[in-house]
Structure 1
Amino acid sequence: MDDSTRSAAGGPPGVRLGRVLGIPVHVSLSWLVLAALITFRYGEVVQGNLPELAVPAAYAVGFGFVLCLMVSVFLHELGHAVTSRLHGIGVRAISLEMLGGFTEMERESPTPRVELAVSLVGPAVSAVLGLAGWGVLLVVPPGSVAHELAFQITASNLIVAVFNVLPGLPLDGGRALRALIWAATGDRYLGTRLAGYAGRVVAAATLLGCLWLYVRSPGGAGGFIVVIVGAVLAVFLWAGAGQAIRGGRLAARFDLVHAGRLARPALQVPSGTPLAEVGRRVAETGAGAVVVLDGGGTPVALVSEHAAAAVPAERAPWVTVDTVARTLVPHLVLPAALAREDVMRAVQTHPASEYLVVDGPVGARPAAAHIVGVLVADDLANLLDPKRTIR
């Protein structure tokens, strides 16, 4: 249905429809497939409800319903986007998908109050659209095309509004639950995890509810379609809830990402030092990493822990430290104050096994006196995923 905090690093897939209020709007290929199915399936329903209509006209009404549904989903997401902007949160894009849509925001909500406002405005928009459709139903004659469309728009928007406020991620109601738990405990990530578990309950209840309706109904193709749709929706919700639980666990550890605090104490050795001598000095000092200096005392390379470990002990006296070191280049030097997403961005942009961490200006040739230590990529990975196996 809706997950307003999703991120698409490569941009949302599908067809770009244009911009609204400067926000790119995309429609996924899955939505186009669903649109075709709805057009033909609903066209058959219209033929049964309005037998006086010609077959092409019935399918045209079905296509009109698809367009109205698309506009409804878009307005739901636009409500999220506008509210986010009002609270200073940028919006990258709005995407319409088979099971609804999502608004890609530039960052998380800064407070529980903002999170609650952004999450509830979408269902509120859908509820207003549903009530507006109900108002149209009161004035248009029954048995007309307008009455048929108004009924479907009313029903679909009210169902979306009610379903989306169910308290479980990835639904809007799950975001609202997260905001309330966050406000009560001061822990955003606890709210994310608990709302994710609630989302799994909603997913299971959705599937069981559809099966119950199928058993209670006379059956047939229509009832079977309800079960299939319910199963697809339940799988989507279960997957989204699981992603929220994992994301909450990861994000809680994400606050611990800080270059200076993660840096290992580094032993500084001159270029040309035998590896055996380096090993002896590491054992004496308890250093966790090794930095190679040139004749002027400037850091020029970082020893690879894995490469050094691969050298047989009997060869260590004859192998210099430079052989197992990587030349220090500017993007391997990180300021000690770098934290959270800035650390992750630096590591993802320039992957390496070790990074030099300094407390002074980050330049092409940092001074040895400014060395804080060495950030080892494996340490960062283990912090974020303690169950990770290093190969």
Structure 2
Amino acid sequence: MRSEVLDLLISWVVLSFSFAVFMSSSLERLPLSIAYSSVGVGSAFILHELAHRQVAKAYDLEARYRAWYLGLLVTLAIALINAAVKLPILFAAPGAVVIYGYWGHVNPIAELRVAESGPLTNIAVGVATWVILLAIPPTPILTDMLYYVMRINSWIAFFNLLPLPPLDGFKILKRSPIEWVLMFIVSLVVMRLAI
């Protein structure tokens, strides 16, 4: 049986590198960008997936993160191409929390709440980071790192709320269109704040 911790760790490393390449202004700044991106991806991806898992467990569902290694390979390949020719493309398909209900059934309300938990976590972290940025005096390293945290969280929230299967947005829209519209609008506002 594959280790959930190992799957999360490998996904975190690949996503951190991919976001760093995408967000870095130059190859000279790439090492610093990797450090900032690791914090940003840790706060965005890891917390997003753990939120899904914990909410699923609160509904008595079996849940664990599973990396999608083909998706991670494509993510890494696009990041390497991006590093060479600086394309404005970011691709991220690391995996997902897989949930199982008893007898194969997942309650529709549980499915909705599990789907909402990841993007809501990213929105909350993005807003909290924005408040921190407003409250502290700017310092180059801390400010840059917090902007990475805010941007990565806002991007992951927005992307996951797209109403396309198998993304969270599709599941939310299917169960509660009003909640999806509200969450999508808030994710756009947080993305705008992160620019």
Aligned positions of 1:152-167 closer than 5 A: 152-167=148-163
For normalisation by structure 2, the TM-score amounts to 0.63
Contact 2:13 2:38 (C-alpha < 8 Å) held by counterparts:
no
Equivalent residue letter for 2:146: A
1:102 maps to amino acid: A
Residue number in structure 2 paired with 1:84: 56
Alpha-carbon offset, residue 76 of structure 1:
0.2
**Rounded Cα–Cα distance in structure 2 between residues aligned with 1:162 and 1:42:** 17
Once the two structures are superposed, the pairs formed by residues 303-342 of structure 1 within 5 Å of their partners are none
Distance 2:176 2:20 in 1: 40
1:14-163 matches, within 5 Å, as 17=5, 25-28=8-11, 32-33=13-14, 35-39=16-20, 42-45=23-26, 58-71=29-42, 72-95=44-67, 97=72, 98=75, 99=92, 100-107=94-101, 110-142=106-138, 144-163=140-159
Distance in 1 (alpha carbons) for counterparts of 2:64 and 2:5 = 14
CA contact (8 A) 2:15 2:41 kept: no
2:125 is aligned with what amino acid?
Answer: L
Compare CA radii of gyration and give the structure with the larger one: 1
The 5 A counterparts of 1:1-391 are 11=2, 17=5, 25-28=8-11, 32-33=13-14, 35-39=16-20, 42-45=23-26, 58-71=29-42, 72-95=44-67, 97=72, 98=75, 99=92, 100-107=94-101, 110-142=106-138, 144-180=140-176
* Count of matched residue positions in the alignment of Structure 1 and Structure 2: 152
> By how many angstroms is 1:64 displaced?
1.7
SS, match of residue 27 in structure 1: helix
CA distance in 2, matches of 1:68, 1:109: 36
Say which SS state the counterpart of residue 164 (structure 2) adopts: coil
Moved more, 33-42 or 61-70: 33-42
Letter in 2 for 1:85: K
Alignment RMSD: 3.1
Is the 2:41–2:149 Cα contact (8 Å) retained in structure 1?
A: no
Higher helix share: 2
Report the alpha carbon displacement of residue 43 of structure 1 after superposing the two structures with TM.
Answer: 4.5
Unpaired segments ≥5 residues, structure 2: 76-91, 178-195
Distance, in Å, in 2 between the alignment partners of 1:106 and 1:11 is 17
SS of the residue corresponding to residue 170 of structure 1 reads coil
User: Which structure shows the higher strand fraction?
Assistant: 1
Can you give the 5+ residue segments of structure 1 that lack an aligned partner in the other structure? Answer: 1-9, 19-23, 48-54, 182-391
